[in-house]
């Protein structure tokens, strides 16, 4: 089958690898010149280095992502830094580290040894995990994380040190709005699983060269499999089939004609799709939500499909997005911060917006220069103050909270990358679409489809693979 994939983010590329391995002839259209989508490398004009569009962490639970990298023949031990989960604040006042004990003793051990939490907080944490396990990781439908935490009497200190930072890091949505069930799903597959599933995994290379750049060179497992990636080629036009003409001229005549928009004259449309004027048998839209919506809006609605099409378009319109900002400080010399990643105490009233700090010399295989990446999720408010002021405040926050590592070295240059639509707001009741659409041969992939996860890399990879599986099912029906 000639398959078009729109978007070379982790979803689109995961779909491309799976489809080529199954023998499909895959063409990937990517608007940008860089591969990786929202997890990609960028050339920073300020720093004059290649950095990521935002610091990403993976969890040991990202099984499909690691299997994909393994499939591409990558040396996982060399390209990834993998460490047992240790949540530690820069000021050293809070630390919760998972010992390598079999589940569930890893959690008990972590709680017993936790620093900065009183006995009451530790008991409350043990109780809420027990309740989650008892309820098979289900929480009441429609509940926000804030409400769920209140129901389980999680104290203010526990919320500010543990739950708040964890929720905003995992869902990029503040606890008052975040969907408790999506959060519970992340907890189930990490803290609720094995200690290894909680491992923090950081790329030692930039995110595009981690695996997306390897896809073009891969040798598909199937002799007919092929991948062509067209960079800098946005898809602006999408059509389904052609009246009376088979979309794929080499393919046998179509089996399941559908009716055109004009129900009265019943135009016969053969399956197949036309992407920017070129014919394919099927397309996977692995773009962001607005782009997918714009492309689907170009398609005719067959009379019998009207409600299903309207439902899908309504669902796509319901997504809201939340920014993530990453400030990179290039230092005169490395800071004495030994960990790859530390938690910062966010206190917006005090002008402290930083949530996590990453020290590149602790994890990059070949750091271009000593750099700190400071991550601000749910960053709309932080971005209002302007770059210079934000950078000044973050430096002050780092100097204050990281005092134990000695004075912060002089900042030589800095870069602010604001991803305005970093992730969708992971709120309760959001109806996320399945890979299949009412249009035959048109499928969806992306972290925003119904993956059971918030907007994360593993969800993106799984969604791409799910779209290829749905394609195979559609092919058989």
Ligand X SMILES: Cc1cc2nc3c(=O)[nH]c(=O)nc-3n(C[C@H](O)[C@H](O)[C@H](O)COP(=O)(O)OP(=O)(O)OC[C@H]3O[C@@H](n4cnc5c(N)ncnc54)[C@H](O)[C@@H]3O)c2cc1C
**Which of 3, 446, 465, 470 forms a contact with ligand X (CB under 6 A)?**
446
Buried b (16+ CB within 10 A) or exposed e, 25-44: bbbbbbbbebbbbbbbbbeb
Cβ atoms within 10 A of the Cβ of 237, count?
11
In terms of CB distance, is 267 or 284 closer to ligand X? 284
Using alpha carbons, list the distances in angstroms from residue 76 to 290, 354, 363. 34, 30, 14
**Which of 24, 42, 54, 122 forms a contact with ligand X (CB under 6 A)?**
54
Site map (CB under 6 A) of ligand X, residues 158-197, x = contact? ----------------------------------------
**Which of 23, 25, 31, 97 forms a contact with ligand X (CB under 6 A)?**
31
Interface with ligand X, residue 85, by CB under 6 A: no
Q: Which are the contacts of 302, defined by CB distance < 8 A and separation ≥ 6?
A: 258, 259, 260, 261, 263, 438
In terms of CB distance, is 124 or 200 closer to ligand X? 200
Phi (first) and psi of residue 239, to 5 degrees: -135, 155
Q: Which are the contacts of 299, defined by CB distance < 8 A and separation ≥ 6?
A: 238, 239, 240, 439, 442
* Token pair of 5 as six digits: 């994939």
Interface with ligand X, residue 299, by CB under 6 A: no
Residues 212-241 close enough to bind ligand X by CB under 6 A = 234-235
Residues 258-297 close enough to bind ligand X by CB under 6 A = 286-288, 291
Q: Directed axis angle between helix 119-134 and helix 180-189, to 10°?
A: 90
Smallest gap, in angstroms, from Cβ of residue 259 to ligand X? Answer: 27
Smallest gap, in angstroms, from Cβ of residue 38 to ligand X? Answer: 4
Using CA atoms, how far apart are residues 208 and 214, in angstroms rounded to an integer? 9
Residues 405-434 close enough to bind ligand X by CB under 6 A = 419, 422-423
Interface with ligand X, residue 9, by CB under 6 A: yes
Interface with ligand X, residue 32, by CB under 6 A: yes
End-to-end CA distance of the chain: give it in Å, rounded. Answer: 15
In terms of CB distance, is 28 or 125 closer to ligand X? 28
Smallest gap, in angstroms, from Cβ of residue 237 to ligand X? Answer: 10
Q: Burial of 450 by CB count in 10 Å (0-12 exposed, 13-18 middle, 19+ buried)?
A: middle
In terms of CB distance, is 168 or 267 closer to ligand X? 168
Binding site for ligand X (CB under 6 A): 6-12, 29-32, 37-39, 53-54, 56-58, 234-235, 286-288, 291, 324, 326, 419, 422-423, 446-447, 455-457, 460
């Amino acid at each position: 089958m000639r398959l078009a994939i729109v978007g070379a983010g982790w979803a689109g590329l995961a779909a491309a690898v799976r489809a080529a391995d199954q023998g499909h002839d895959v063409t990937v259209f990517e608007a940008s010149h860089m591969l990786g989508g929202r997890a990609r490398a960028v050339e920073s004009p300020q720093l004059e280095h290649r950095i990521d569009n935002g610091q990403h962490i993976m969890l040991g639970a990202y099984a499909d992502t690691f299997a994909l990298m393994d499939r591409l023949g990558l040396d996982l031990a060399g390209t990834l830094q993998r460490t047992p989960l240790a949540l530690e604040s820069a000021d050293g006042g809070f630390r919760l580290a998972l010992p390598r004990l079999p589940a569930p003793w890893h959690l008990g051990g972590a709680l017993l040894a936790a620093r900065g939490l009183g006995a009451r907080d530790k008991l409350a944490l043990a109780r809420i995990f027990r309740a989650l396990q008892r309820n098979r990781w289900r929480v009441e439908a429609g509940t926000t994380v804030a409400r769920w935490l209140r129901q389980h009497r999680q104290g203010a200190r526990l919320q500010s040190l543990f739950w708040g930072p964890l929720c905003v890091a995992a869902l990029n949505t503040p606890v008052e709005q975040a969907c408790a069930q999506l959060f519970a799903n992340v907890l189930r597959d990490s803290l609720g699983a094995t200690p290894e599933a909680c491992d923090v995994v950081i790329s030692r290379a930039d995110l595009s060269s981690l695996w997306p750049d390897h896809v073009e060179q891969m040798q598909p497992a199937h002799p007919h499999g092929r991948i062509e990636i067209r960079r800098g080629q946005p898809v602006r036009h999408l059509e389904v089939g052609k009246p009376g003409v088979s979309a794929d001229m080499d393919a046998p005549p179509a089996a399941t004609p559908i009716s055109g928009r004009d129900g009265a004259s019943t135009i016969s449309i053969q399956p197949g799709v036309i992407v920017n004027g070129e014919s394919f048998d099927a397309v996977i839209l692995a773009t962001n939500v607005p782009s997918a919506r714009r492309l689907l809006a170009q398609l005719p609605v067959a009379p019998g499909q009207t409600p299903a099409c309207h439902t899908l378009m309504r669902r796509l319109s319901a997504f809201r997005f939340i920014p993530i900002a990453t400030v990179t400080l290039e230092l005169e010399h490395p800071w004495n911060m030994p960990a790859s990643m530390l938690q910062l105490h966010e206190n917006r009233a005090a002008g402290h917006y930083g949530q996590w700090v990453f020290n590149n010399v602790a994890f990059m295989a070949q750091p271009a220069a000593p750099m700190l990446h400071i991550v601000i999720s749910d960053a709309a408010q932080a971005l209002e103050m302007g770059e210079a002021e934000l950078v000044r405040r973050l430096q002050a926050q780092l100097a204050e909270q990281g005092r134990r590592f000695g004075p912060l070295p002089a900042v030589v240059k800095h870069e602010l990358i604001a991803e305005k639509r970093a992730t969708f707001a992971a709120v309760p009741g959001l109806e996320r679409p399945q890979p299949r659409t009412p249009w035959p041969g048109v499928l969806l992939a992306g972290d925003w489809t119904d993956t059971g996860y918030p907007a994360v890399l593993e969800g993106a990879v799984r969604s791409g693979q799910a779209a290829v599986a749905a394609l195979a099912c559609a092919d058989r029906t």
